[in-house]
Homo-oligomer: A and B are copies of this chain.
């Protein structure tokens, strides 16, 4: 299916120097797709070179005079910058000119703007953010990741539905398994919201596995792990911190003396293949779920490869009609049917 992406080219730590090359690469590899580069014409135009001629109609620039900065407060981004590249990208999805928007900008502003412009789907009270986490042999989708704290059980149920639909859209699996993140001790198990969410999930008609614990995220016990945004954010950031520490410590150990440096040289191909396998760039692209339209959030520090992966993820969600899937599931007369 032909898909047009609206790309906020000004967002992220690196702006157009990353987003434009990634967009051109995407056009090269996905000959059905088109992109609308949103941002300041005078900055974007010179970066295109011969690309405009090569891709013709498939590559357009849509001028937006303002940029949401990475630390801009939501109120200012939402009300003060009505011509921001982030806002225009969302509006292009709203109008139907694009099927998905992608931005590496400020997460909170992107969520607020997307919610304001696109609105939520019927029955969804809070949009969520989902991310992909690698496991030994596959991956787990984890949500929510910081958009929602202090969740009610009904919110967790909605996250489960959205996460399952995202997994089915991107991974082509009809009934992905869903786990509810909880803690293990018998009698002190879970907080109140999670306990009651478990009851709702049992009756939801989803392929509900039951409770899972923190280590199940990386074991790949289930396809989708559901938790509130506070817990998901902490779990993901703690993991990032640990991965960083392990890699720094390994580097230190391999640099200790000439013998360990020699060992490092020998082990380099193995270590590199390990690095490629868990390259976080390949997992870039968090989905903003529950909106009447597709919005994908790239990591702010994404390089061109990482941003390209976010674009591919957005196109795949559009091809597989993610919002329509969620809407259809939410519209079922009873969740148990």
The CA of A32 and the CA of B238, in the complex, are separated in Å by: 40
Q: Is A31 an interface residue (CB 8 A)?
A: no
- A241 interface neighbour in B192, B216, B229, Cβ under 8 Å: B216
Query: Given the known A-B contacts A242-B243, A245-B136, A264-B267, are A146 and B188 also in contact in the complex, defined by CB atoms under 8 Å?
Result: yes
Is there a chain B Cβ closer than 8 Å to A116's Cβ?
no
The reply to whether B231 and A187 contact each other, CB–CB distance below 8 Å, is: no
How many residues of chain A get a CB closer than 8 Å to chain B's CBs?
73
Q: Restricting to A24-63, which residues have a CB under 8 Å from any CB of B? A: none
Query: How far does the alpha carbon of A292 sit from the alpha carbon of B262 in the complex, in Å?
Result: 54
| Shortest distance between the CB of A109 and any CB in chain B (Å) | 9
Q: Copies per complex?
A: 2
A257-272, CB < 8 A from B:
259-260, 262-264, 266-267, 269-271
Q: Does A19 contact B (CB under 8 A)?
A: no
A215 near B244 (CB under 8 angstroms)?
A: yes
Shortest distance from the beta carbon of A12 to any chain B beta carbon, whole Å: 16
Residues of B within 8 A of A235 (CB): 214, 234-235, 238
Chain B proximity of A177: nearest CB distance (Å): 17
Interface stretch of the complex, out of A202-210, A246-254, A305-313 = A246-254
Binding site of A, secondary structure by majority: helix, strand, loop or mixed?
A: helix
Cross-interface CB contact of A239 among B73, B181, B242, cutoff 8 Å: B242
Using Cβ atoms and an 8 Å threshold, which residues of chain B touch A214?
233-241
A277 at interface (Cβ–Cβ under 8 A)? yes
Closest to A259 in B: B269
A119 to B: closest C-beta gap in Å: 19
A248 CB to nearest B CB, Å: 6
Q: Is A7 an interface residue (CB 8 A)?
A: no
Nearest Cβ distance between residue A241 and chain B, in whole angstroms? 3
Cross-chain contact of A246 among B108, B231, B246 (Cβ < 8 A):
B246
Q: What is the minimal beta-carbon distance from A188 to any residue of chain B, in angstroms?
A: 6
15 A-B residue pairings within 8 Å (CB atoms): A134-B245, A181-B234, A184-B237, A213-B237, A218-B241, A218-B244, A234-B235, A238-B239, A239-B239, A243-B246, A256-B273, A259-B269, A263-B266, A264-B267, A267-B267
Closest 4 CB pairs of A and B: A214-B237, A215-B241, A218-B241, A214-B238
